[in-house]
Amino acid sequence: MPFYTCVSPKKLIAFLRSDHRFLSLPQLRSHASSSMLTMKKVTKKVGKYEIGRTIGEGTFAKVKFAKNTKTGEVVAVKVLAKSTILKHKMVDQIKREISIMKIVRHPNIVRLHEVLSSHTKIYIILEFVTGGELFDRIVHKRKLSEKEARGYFQQLIDAVAHCHSKGVYHRDLKPENLLIDSKERLKVSDFGLSALPQEGVELLYTTCGTPNYIAPEVLRKRGYDGGAADIWSCGVILYVLLTGYLPFEESDLPTLYKKVSAAEFSYPFWFASGAKSLLDKILDPNPQTRIRIDGIREHPWFQMNYVSISQGEEGDASLDDVRAVFDDIEDEYVMERSEEKVAPLTMNVFEMITLSQGLNLSALFDRRQDHVRRQTRFVSCKPAKDIISAITTVAELLGFKVIRRGYKTRLEGASVNRAGQFAVVLEVYEVATSIFMVDVRKAAGDTLEYHKFYKDFCGKLDHIIWKPKEGLPNSSIYKTMTC
């Protein structure tokens, strides 16, 4: 598996280890299974889990890479500060999200393993899904083939049907919340806006979700059926999978809402007739006549090569531990030891392999302008302090508020449509002597807006970004990376 046409992952791994030795595949697997990411300045353990680097960040939570020390299983840990939850009065919302994930156990839904708590934080232990977001797949391929799009849509409908059978409505279905695992299996995630049924209440009234995917009846604020609203979102997702763009997209919200309410959109001339027939029934602005799950499953286009995974998994639905995590418990669950960060964190081979989803490490250094993900990276041979200084200068030039903590920087600003906050986090890692990787990830805002930001930002950082044709500090290392 070459990197820049001629470099094998083994050579790159040897380069990153800076000892010029090539590892055999069995050695690499042995190393990966027996080692956890090593950080110079921070050691943290939560129960039986060793906590590693941040792999995602939102307004109220961080998602970290972790490893079960008893089984060796890699997991994702969603970390929430109790002070933040209390300050923003989010206790009920977090309880609901955890409760829902315990209730909806299905092969196409991200699994919740367990919930732990300390005096200051709540840790939600989740299945680690290695394939990234479905959104990234769409960006990379422009649009999916009809067969591939149908396969993902079938899995999405199975997952949504299972949620609805449990009385759970997701209310924020979009490609960014759909993950792909190593077996190409779709996984629904992020139940933060989901709703649970209340006795005697049939309609929902909270307006929530992402504007481009939201159902017309949700905008009317007169009560809506959560199931029908989810089906509309599934229809928008199917349209995006097949075309590579949104059916409803406007720069200002009033115009967008007007088009959504009237279901005002068009199909490209090449759009498959079978898919069009189904979408006409899904993107019906009237929720009373909109097709239901059973109707979708019976549609001829949907039925092609369909293998149902409609049955969920029976699990422990007791919510006693969910209530318990919000109480004061012994701090014996959490053992933390940290020092002041005076140097960038280091990243070892095990973490890099996991991060790159296999042995193809080129994704770690890929900054092609036509393939930008919500989480991207570039490499620099400049000193770490110079990298941070350059990032700060460019960010301030672009009008961002800069918040620095050691070698981690958060940039904050308003989104393009002024509808909310746009934020990006950049963190510097040392991957070899005098070689640094800058990890860039979206923390808040629209993913498409992040695409444009990343291209513009990297263009202004061009003087610090390493390019394949340039030499590296160690010329012998450079030889292992070039033809």
- Secondary structure letter of residue 224 according to DSSP: B
* The two structure tokens encoding residue 223: 């009560």
Q: Is 280 a catalytic residue?
A: no
* The two structure tokens encoding residue 207: 């307006």
Residue 408 is labelled as binding a ligand: no
* The two structure tokens encoding residue 377: 């990276």
* Cα 355–Cα 241–Cα 167 angle in degrees, nearest 5: 85
Q: CB-based contacts of 27: which residues, under 8 Å, 6+ apart?
A: none
- Say whether 428 sits in a helix, a strand or coil: strand
Give me the phi and psi of 97, to 5 degrees please. Answer: -60, -45
Helix (H), strand (E), coil (C) string for 66-122: EEECCCCCEEEEEEEEHHHHHHCCCHHHHHHHHHHHHHCCCCCECCEEEEEECCCEE
- Say whether 475 sits in a helix, a strand or coil: helix
Q: List the catalytic residue out of 136, 158, 172, 230.
A: 172
- Secondary structure letter of residue 213 according to DSSP: G
- Rounded Cα gap, residues 101 and 261, in angstroms: 31
- Rounded Cα gap, residues 217 and 257, in angstroms: 11
Helix (H), strand (E), coil (C) string for 378-415: EEECCCHHHHHHHHHHHHHHCCCEEEEECCEEEEEEEC
Closest CA to 109 of 165, 46, 28: 165
Given a contact cutoff of 8 angstroms between Cβ atoms, the answer to whether 217 and 115 are in contact is no
Binding residues for ATP: 87
Task: Write out the catalytic residue numbers.
Answer: 172
Residue ranges at the known binding site: 87
